[in-house]
Structure 1
């Protein structure tokens, strides 16, 4: 694909075909992604590419612990709940997804099914767990770098016909992830990227999130 096709065509994929992804293709994706910019070339990221029975055990443990009320133990924490325009955008994409999936506001069963899909990393055949070295924990540039490599992964995957969705619901129970994936204690679990071949019949996969315009996002200074 041309670069513009990748950027303009990519969307978050939440429904996947039951079809394996070759290791060689994933390696191609990661080789492209690690060209992401990194502060002073520190490259703090690590990737744990999980599939098969290991991923199924992570799904099972994450779902069981969450449903049992075990507190969220994500190691890379978000801030306070979104407010104002940021909350509006969050609600807007949720409405788009629920409308596509036919989930009514008061349909508790379907809404719970959607939550469980998130806990299972949307049943994708592959999960890429991004971690970073604990010795640089607390450095904002580290998380900036890891965000850049996440962006690189989802775009490189799309260029190979693969879909992704960046999610943290599937790694809420970090002890399960750490044990099953063999992640050492000197690394911080940051994020997961579900990956696989898109199921074009899955309604939510057709949703394209609305983005604010360049005029709203950019201020040009010193231009005529």
Structure 2
């Protein structure tokens, strides 16, 4: 694919085929992602790539603890709940997804099941947990750099026919993730990325979230035209 095809064609994938993803292909995708820029070349990121029994154990631990009411324990800052137009965009894409899946507003069981899919990393065959070195935790550049490498990873995956969705639900129960992913204490868990071969028959995979126009997002200063 050309760069434009990757960027314009990529979308979040929430339904996957069960087929395994070759380790060599994942290594190729991560290698491309690691060309992302980082502040003064610090490259603060680490990738913990999970499949099989280890990933299944995290899925179980996440869902069981969340259903039991165990408070979430994300390690990276969560911030305040979205409000205003940011909340409007969040609700907007949720409406698109529920409509695609045929989930009615009053259908609480199916809505709850949809939420649990996130805690199961959307049943993808692979999950990539991104962490950063704890010693860099006071630097805002570190979060920026990890965001850059996550974006590079999802685009690289798409260019190879793989689907992804970046999510935080998969790491809500950090003790479970840390144990089964064997993440050392000197790293902070930041994000998880579900990865696998897209199931093109899964209705939500056809959803393309709306984007603002450039004129709404960008301000140009000093140009003659």
Q: What range describes the TM-score normalised by the shorter chain of this pair?
A: over 0.9
Per the alignment, residue 34 of structure 2 pairs with 34
For residue 139 of structure 1, report the CA deviation from its aligned partner. Answer: 1.1
Per the alignment, residue 116 of structure 2 pairs with 116
d(CA) in 2 for partners of 1:40 and 1:171?
28
d(CA) in 1 for partners of 2:191 and 2:175?
14
> Does residue 137 in structure 1 map to residue 137 in structure 2?
yes
d(CA) in 2 for partners of 1:174 and 1:77?
13
For residue 77 of structure 1, report the CA deviation from its aligned partner. Answer: 2.1
Over the aligned positions, Cα root-mean-square deviation in angstroms equals: 0.5
Per the alignment, residue 126 of structure 1 pairs with 126
d(CA) in 2 for partners of 1:219 and 1:79?
26
- For structure 2, the 5+ residue unaligned runs are none
d(CA) in 1 for partners of 2:100 and 2:78?
27
Per the alignment, residue 106 of structure 2 pairs with 106
In structure 1, the residue corresponding to 2:127 is in which secondary structure?
strand
Q: Normalised by the size of structure 2, how large is the TM-score? A: 0.99
d(CA) in 2 for partners of 1:184 and 1:209?
36
For residue 138 of structure 1, report the CA deviation from its aligned partner. Answer: 2.2
d(CA) in 1 for partners of 2:204 and 2:29?
24
For residue 78 of structure 1, report the CA deviation from its aligned partner. Answer: 1.6
d(CA) in 1 for partners of 2:66 and 2:49?
23
For residue 50 of structure 1, report the CA deviation from its aligned partner. Answer: 0.3
Q: Normalised by the size of structure 1, how large is the TM-score? A: 0.99
d(CA) in 2 for partners of 1:138 and 1:98?
38
d(CA) in 1 for partners of 2:84 and 2:70?
30
Per the alignment, residue 58 of structure 1 pairs with 58
- For structure 1, the 5+ residue unaligned runs are none
d(CA) in 1 for partners of 2:87 and 2:4?
29
Per the alignment, residue 155 of structure 1 pairs with 155
Deviations 1:63-93 (A, max 9, x none): 1011111100010122111111101000000
